[in-house]
Amino acid sequence: MSELKNDRFLRALQRQPVDRTPVWMMRQAGRYLPEYRATRKQAGSFLDLCKNAELACEVTMQPLRRYPMDAAILFSDILTVPDALGLGLYFEEGEGPRFRKTVRSEEDLAGLNSFTADDDLAYVMNAVRTIRAELNGKVPLIGFSGSPWTLATYMVEGGSSKDFANVKGMAYDKPALMHGLLSLLADAVADYLAAQIRAGAQAVQIFDTWGGSLSAAGYREFSLAYMQRIITRLQGQPETRDVPVIVFTKGGGQWLTSIADCGAQGVGIDWTTDIALARAEVGDRVALQGNMDPSMLFASPARIREEVASILAGFGHGSGHIFNLGHGITPGVNPDHVTAFVDAVQELSPQYHLGD
């Protein structure tokens, strides 16, 4: 494969010197871009778009044509693993992802399909290979998965939830059943991320979207422990051990010290956490990724630039910061405001790397 022309993202993730702070955005390929909406219409549905390697590659490349991002991220969905386990993923208009089956009993757990990522999610690996070839070394490619806890929330609830009553009820009332499900998912996710790495992913991110819904003790037991298990598995295999891992728990700022000890090279923080306090707390143990409020992109370009300046100053001098939003970009954002965001990071960050 082609030599990497821009390794700024990977260097920052390893806390090595860089000339400026690298930047990419969660959901950077998405509905805010008119070209994405056109490609999705061409595909017929979101899932058809994910399963077509050429179209998944096209939408992955679209933001890179508009903006000088320092990384590409695989276009896929976090719920591919539960779908492959046999739960029947579909999307309800205005309702988000749904499953035709749920896991709420020992019988449901025992009835899940056996899983091998290379076979059962071959379409994802085809997309990874296609994107790597198209990138031609321009920037690194990030692979990803949902965390075991986040996948479990959808599998038990059957879709999105406001109160997580079923999944948290299971965790607290039937912990053995919940640990059985989470163990199965941790092994499946480790297999899935390893397969993405073999196919060409140069870093991987674990999206723990719903970890922040748990209590402190619940988070350590039901979410963090299983992400740590995945990282340990990846670091124990020669073909995957050198590929950096980012862990992102939305709403997890109060557990930063514990997250920084999980073995990941990078920790994503959402916009509710002050990046200066986060850096003071974790020191140089991990790189920090984040953390502008996605809604700031609805503000004027001048205000966006002020916010970028504030976050850069908060992190301060030196490497180990990857600029990102504190969550995924929202669909209604003006693409020109993303230009202002990326330009501000590029123009304002070099002063924090002088002498590196």
User: For this structure, is 293 an active site residue?
Assistant: no
- 36, 154, 192, 226: the catalytic one is 154
pLDDT tens figures, 157-189: 999 888 999 999 999 999 999 999 999 999 999
- 7, 70, 77, 270: the catalytic one is 77
> For tokens 């390929």, what's the residue?
29
* CB atoms near residue 110 (< 10 Å): 9
Q: Residue 327 annotated as binding?
A: yes
pLDDT tens figures, 182-217: 999 999 999 999 999 999 999 999 999 999 999 999
Q: Residue 30 annotated as binding?
A: yes
- From CA 296, how far away is CA 301, in angstroms rounded? 10
* CB atoms near residue 3 (< 10 Å): 7
Residue among 321, 339, 341, 326 nearest 16 (CA):
321
User: For this structure, is 98 an active site residue?
Assistant: no
Q: Residue 27 annotated as binding?
A: yes
Q: What is the mean pLDDT of residues 257-270?
A: 98
Residue 206 structure tokens: 């674990």
Residue 88: per-residue pLDDT: 95
Residue 96: per-residue pLDDT: 84
Q: Residue 209 annotated as binding?
A: yes
Contacts of 80 (CB under 8 A, 6+ apart): 50, 89, 121, 124, 145, 192
User: For this structure, is 27 an active site residue?
Assistant: yes
Question: In the sheet where 266-268 sits, what is the strand order?
Answer: 72-73, 141-146, 203-208, 245-249, 266-268, 287-292, 321-325
- 37, 40, 129, 198: the catalytic one is 40
- Residue 95 predicted with pLDDT over 80: no
Mean pLDDT of all residues in the chain?
Answer: 96
- Residue 1 predicted with pLDDT over 60: no
- From CA 171, how far away is CA 174, in angstroms rounded? 6
Q: Residue 31 annotated as binding?
A: yes
Q: Residue 29 annotated as binding?
A: yes
Domains of the chain: 8-353 (3.20.20.210)
- From CA 31, how far away is CA 20, in angstroms rounded? 28
Q: What is the mean pLDDT of residues 233-258?
A: 97
- Residue 318 predicted with pLDDT over 90: yes
Q: Residue 154 annotated as binding?
A: yes
Residue 67 structure tokens: 């903006």
Q: Write out the H or E segment, with its range, that includes residue 207.
A: strand 203-208
268 DSSP β-pair partners: 248, 289
Residue among 345, 322, 325 nearest 14 (CA):
322
Q: What is the mean pLDDT of residues 85-103?
A: 90
Q: What is the mean pLDDT of residues 40-54?
A: 95
